[in-house]
Amino acid sequence: MIPDSRMPSRQDLLWPTLKALESIGGSASIQELSPRVATYMELQDEILDVLHKDGPQTEVEYQAAWARSILKNVGAIDNTARGVWNVTDKGREIQSEEQVREMARSAHNTKQRRTPVAPAPHAPDTDDDRNWQDGLLDILRSMAPDAFERLCQRILRESGFTRVEVTGRSGDGGIDGAGVLRVNLISFHVRFQCKRYTGSVQAREIRDFRGAMVGRADKGLFITTGAFTGGARREAVRDGAPAIDLIDGSGLCVLLKDLELGVTTRTVLEVAPEPEFFETV
């Protein structure tokens, strides 16, 4: 069990997030930004691998999402519809950690004065809404193994794969199926593994999967409803070994939403009072 004092809070992540984003050139996806923040803060795997509740998000990822939300609220960073985060002119003017913390405190105090009843805590809306993801993951984890494999087969077909087959044979090194992805004139033979996990996939499971697919495929794809440890992510892209693409529970939810498979997106009209209007009457 990691002591709470060693786990970075969302306030601890404000300055590292801003500096890491600047170090990449001022813009980055979350996938690019997260390892930079971890490196900047010198966070070890034992910290990075701790799950938030039952996952698939880690505690650091959860707090980092809040940190990005706070930085956006104070105008230091912004994000596009494609999920790319960028530093604003206001963000570039921030010179110290204390300055950005003070901006966050001031914004929080202003919001508290304007909001008589605090809303129930939830993950920030600027990243994926974890409420629907948690519900979807509960459904996915309750599926029968063969049904989940068929769902993964459907996902690959909807994503442009052909000749997608589910094998699921015992003693096949964890390979659950195969498919072919054609990119322009080139085709890639892919072996995939799909597991309904609540915890984290370890590096040894990536090594076992690679050992089973080497010589039989050009690429590997590992899909899980859980998370991947830092060691597993490094093993997936280890130099000198065939790369394996990873899709964790959060990524799987977003993929299903984008493909409109079992997920409906609705536009909701939000009506809210504006206290500042009445203060000027």
For residue 100, the domain's CATH number is 1.10.10
Tokens 């809040």 found at: 66
The 3-state DSSP class for residue 194 equals: strand
What the block records as the tokens of 43 is 């966070």
Distances (CA, A) of 242 to 32, 209, 211, 221: 21, 11, 10, 11
Q: State yes or no: pLDDT of 102 exceeds 90.
A: yes
50 and 97, same domain (yes or no): yes
The confidence score (pLDDT) of residue 120 equals: 41
Report pLDDT for 1: 53
Specify the CATH number for the domain of residue 167: 3.40.1350.10
Instruction: Give the whole-angstrom CA distance, residue 226 versus residue 101.
Output: 33
Give me 163's structure tokens. 């000749």
The pLDDT value recorded for residue 152 is: 93
What are the φ and ψ backbone dihedral angles of 234, each rounded to 5 degrees?
A: -70, -40
Nearest by Cα to 162 from 141, 140, 179, 186: 179
State how far the Cα of 34 lies from the Cα of 47, in Å rounded to an integer.
Answer: 13
Last residue of a domain, one of 117, 133, 164: 117
- Bridge partners, 178 (sequence order): 165, 191
Residue 192 shares a structural domain with residue 228? yes
Q: How far apart are the first and last CA of the chain?
A: 55
Structure tokens at 33: 């930004």
Looking at residue 184, the DSSP 8-state letter turns out to be T
Residue 127 in any domain: the answer is no
Whether residue 242 is contained in a domain is answered as yes
pLDDT cut 90: percent of the chain above it: 61
Report d(CA 255, CA 151) in Å as an integer. 12
Do 112 and 149 lie in one domain? The reply is: no
Asked if residue 104 lies in contact with residue 114, where contact means CB atoms within 8 angstroms, the answer is: no
Contact call for residues 199 and 193 (beta carbons, < 8 A): no
Are the C-beta atoms of 140 and 252 separated by less than 8 Å?
yes
**Directed axis angle between helix 249-259 and helix 145-158, to 10°?**
60
pLDDT score at 118: 43
- State which amino acid sits at residue 61: E
- Is residue 224 a part of any domain in this protein? yes
How far apart CA 268 and CA 142 sit, in angstroms, is 29
Range of the domain at 113: 4-117
For residue 56, say if its preceding peptide bond is cis, omega within 30 degrees of 0: yes
Within a domain: residue 189?
yes
Instruction: Tell me the pLDDT band of 77, cut-offs 50, 70 and 90.
Output: very high
Tokens of 116: 């008589």
Model confidence pLDDT, tens digit, residues 14-48: 999 999 999 999 999 888 899 999 999 999 999 99
User: What does the pLDDT read at residue 122?
Assistant: 43
What does the mean pLDDT of the chain come to? Answer: 86
pLDDT in tens, 181-231: 988 888 999 999 999 988 899 999 999 999 998 888 999 999 999 999 999
Residue 135 lies in a domain: no
Q: Is residue 68 part of a domain?
A: yes
Split into its structural domains, the chain has a count of: 2
User: Tell me, what's the pLDDT at 279?
Assistant: 80
| Rounded Cα gap, residues 98 and 42, in angstroms | 20
Strand partners, 98: none
Residue 73 falls within a domain, yes or no? yes
pTM of the predicted model, to two decimals?
0.71
Task: Note the pLDDT tens digit of each residue in 116-158.
Answer: 444 444 445 444 456 788 899 999 999 998 899 999 999 999 9
Of 77-81, 117-121, 154-158, 265-269, the range with the lowest mean pLDDT is: 117-121
Burial class (CB in 10 A: 0-12, 13-18, 19+), 58: buried
Say whether both 99 and 170 belong to one domain: no
Q: Look at residue 123 in the predicted model and tell me its pLDDT.
A: 46
Asked whether residue 281 is domain-assigned, the answer is no
- In this structure, are residues 152 and 176 in contact, taking their beta carbons and an 8 Å threshold? yes
| Whether residues 169 and 248 fall in one domain | yes
Residues 107 and 151 occupy one common structural domain: no
Residues 78 and 179 in one domain: no
Q: Are residues 77 and 147 in the same domain?
A: no
Largest CA distance in the chain: 75
